[in-house]
Structure 1
Amino acid sequence: MRTTMTKPVIGWIGMGRMGYPMAERVVKAGYEVRIWNRTRAKAEPLEAKGATLVDAPRDLAGVDILITMVSTGKDVETVLFGPDGVLTGDGVPGVFVDSSSISSEQSAAIRDKLAARGATLIAAPVSGNGKCVKAGKLSSVCSGPRPVFDTVEPVIAAYAAAGVSYVGEGELARFCKIAHNVFLGVVIQNLAEITILAQKAGVPRHAFLDFMNNSAMGSVFTRYKSNALINLDWTTTFTPELLRKDLDLGLTAARALEVPMPVTAATREALQAHFGAASIQDDPEAYLQKDFAALIETVALAAGLTLEPENVPYPTGLEVPQAAE
């Protein structure tokens, strides 16, 4: 493995809401990082912080470890195998790490194509959002050959500072990610329901959610979503459409493996009501691009309530100390 100062040279593709802060942490960890993004302007600020910006994915063919963090399996295919893709360059990175959220079938197909070129894929989807990355609370679940995982784990840990879990061979990490996002959907739906229940009984949302966060049922997720639910801040971290896709993936896997998941099925139908409720908005399409936590407005509508921001700032637990920014 080619190295610089005993560390592998890292290639990174994807500078979106998640990819940029993840790659930034790898740069700060002291690795030589070469980056590419479809929209060059999004990558330029990281170049100023020490990364090397290249002109095309094929320019990353000579790195040791190539990490992708893009939107879809099709995007992964394109940047690896498409015109000017990484595999069209001179050389082949020994290890590919994909932290994108893609299906197990897509991942398996990519793994086979890479194996034919003598390379190994580590599936490494993550849990969290951009603020989690910056606060050091992003985690990752990984699968693939154990010896290769052991080699790349320190790099993954640089951006997934909350923990890196190895779950086995092949695409098992993809199933874990799907299960994770199914839980995400069930939790946000039920959190919205019980918050509206408490509000209709007379409890302010900020008071109820503060109690929940300090209880045995509180979590990193319930705390960092509380400010959105209290103040109706729908700055996008994850869209309802992406959540619906993941619930469908979970239910498809459940049918294939003959696992009954009635709570997930009910959550999928509840989420669909949010798509219908969006039709009363001035711009339904734009509304559905807002954060998935906005589904609390649909729950409130069904309960006969119209929500207003409470204008009570609530700490997310993801605040980054000034010195760490």
Structure 2
Amino acid sequence: MSMTLGWIGAGRMGSAMAGRLLDAGHPVRIWNRTRAKAEALVERGATVADTVADLADRDVVFVMVSTSDDLREVLRGLYAGDQAPGTVVDCSTVSAEASAEARAESAKRGVRFIAAPVSGNPHVVAAGGASLVASGDRETFDLVRPLLATIGRAAVYAGPGEVSRLVKLCHNLYLGMMVESLVEVVTLAEKGGVDRAAFLEFLNGTVLASDWVRKRTPDLVERDWRPTFTTELLRKDFDLGLGAARASEVPMPVASLVHQLIQAAIGRGHRDDDFLALYEVQAANAGLPEGPGQET
């Protein structure tokens, strides 16, 4: 594809995703609030923009930021001048309301807008294993689909408007509930005298096994909470997901309890740790000995 590309957001996820495009031979101009993170991709072929507005001449601009307010802020900068990109693809996990605002602001500038949140941590993305779910105009999705397919192994069109935001929030609610279930049974086995590594080895050989649990087993065994996805970001997604559930009058009793346990993990000092640190809350509540803590 000969389209010119811009990228906003070079954090852990953004860098991994933009790197996939760069490694496939696409020249990408990147802006990040902390310039050094964008400059780290120069050796892979990226150029660095001085301001967000410097991306306004691109055919397609990807956005990968942390919060709804971040999305609002970067789009204000992108649309501040006389020029505007052809298409914006936002891969962030934000609220449907913020996404609709972004779509409306883009339409005012004549910019096509696709919401395309992504599933996968930076390691998964870098290995080509990410999945993206998109919503918006089908014709625009078809235009950018080859780029999405370069970033991840799957790019699913979910429908018009902001429905992809709900899909991603449901995904992250399930992820949080799954991890809480995992750390609860691990703690029970451990409190009963079973070696944590042995229990997880057994579990990973059963029909309940998953690639995700297998890959994260060493971290859980070693109590290594170096972040792939922080507890604070998971809390943000639970805030959004439970808000969507309230708006649709859908009861979420399990998710609501997990929300409080995520809050407990943050209260215990695990805000910036990987969300697998939910284990520490369960282990402490069960009276297990303290572990070595986060490795550096």
TM-score range, shorter chain: over 0.9
Please list the CA deviations of residues 127-158 of structure 1 after superposition, one character each: whole Å capped at 9, or x if unmatched: 11111111211111110111110110111111
Instruction: Return the alpha-carbon distance in structure 1 between the equivalents of residues 123 and 250 of structure 2.
Output: 34
Runs of 4+ residues over 4 Å off in structure 1:
none
Q: Which amino acid aligns with 2:47?
A: T
Match of 1:123 among 112, 115, 124: 115
Tell me, yes or no, if structure 1 residue 79 matches structure 2 residue 74. Answer: yes
Give yes or no for contact 1:143–1:173 (8 Å, CA) kept in 2. Answer: yes
* Other-structure match for 1:289: 272
Give yes or no for contact 1:97–1:123 (8 Å, CA) kept in 2. Answer: yes
Instruction: Return the alpha-carbon distance in structure 2 between the equivalents of residues 49 and 265 of structure 1.
Output: 43
Alignment of 1:173-212 (within 5 A): 173-212=164-203
Match of 2:16 among 11, 15, 21: 21
* Other-structure match for 1:257: 248
Calculate the TM-score normalised by the size of structure 1: 0.86
Give yes or no for contact 1:59–1:89 (8 Å, CA) kept in 2. Answer: no
222-231 vs 15-24, which moves further: 222-231
* Other-structure match for 1:140: 132
* Other-structure match for 1:56: 51
Instruction: Mark the CA change 1:275 to 1:21 in structure 2 (over 3 Å): closer, same or farther.
Output: closer
Instruction: Return the alpha-carbon distance in structure 2 between the equivalents of residues 178 and 185 of structure 1.
Output: 11
Tell me, yes or no, if structure 1 residue 43 matches structure 2 residue 26. Answer: no
Give yes or no for contact 2:169–2:240 (8 Å, CA) kept in 1. Answer: yes
Instruction: Return the alpha-carbon distance in structure 1 between the equivalents of residues 2 and 188 of structure 2.
Output: 53
Number of aligned residue pairs: give it.
Answer: 292
- How far apart are residue 214 of structure 1 and its match? 2.6
Q: Which amino acid aligns with 2:44?
A: K
Mark the runs of 5 or more structure 2 residues left unpaired by the alignment. Answer: none
Secondary structure at the residue paired with 1:7? coil
Secondary structure at the residue paired with 2:184? helix
Match of 2:232 among 236, 241, 247: 241
* Other-structure match for 1:158: 150
* Other-structure match for 1:232: 223
* Other-structure match for 1:320: none
Match of 2:62 among 67, 89, 113: 67
Instruction: Return the alpha-carbon distance in structure 1 between the equivalents of residues 44 and 264 of structure 2.
Output: 44
Calculate the TM-score normalised by the size of structure 2: 0.94
Give yes or no for contact 2:29–2:48 (8 Å, CA) kept in 1. Answer: yes
Q: Which amino acid aligns with 2:226?
A: T
Mark the runs of 5 or more structure 1 residues left unpaired by the alignment. Answer: 1-5, 279-283, 310-325
Instruction: Return the alpha-carbon distance in structure 2 between the equivalents of residues 76 and 265 of structure 1.
Output: 26
Give yes or no for contact 2:93–2:237 (8 Å, CA) kept in 1. Answer: no
* Other-structure match for 2:281: 298
Tell me, yes or no, if structure 1 residue 88 matches structure 2 residue 80. Answer: yes
Q: Which amino acid aligns with 2:28?
A: V
Root-mean-square deviation over aligned CA pairs: 1.5
Please list the CA deviations of residues 25-69 of structure 1 after superposition, one character each: whole Å capped at 9, or x if unmatched: 101112121111111111112112211212111111111100011
Give yes or no for contact 1:62–1:90 (8 Å, CA) kept in 2. Answer: no
* Other-structure match for 1:217: 208
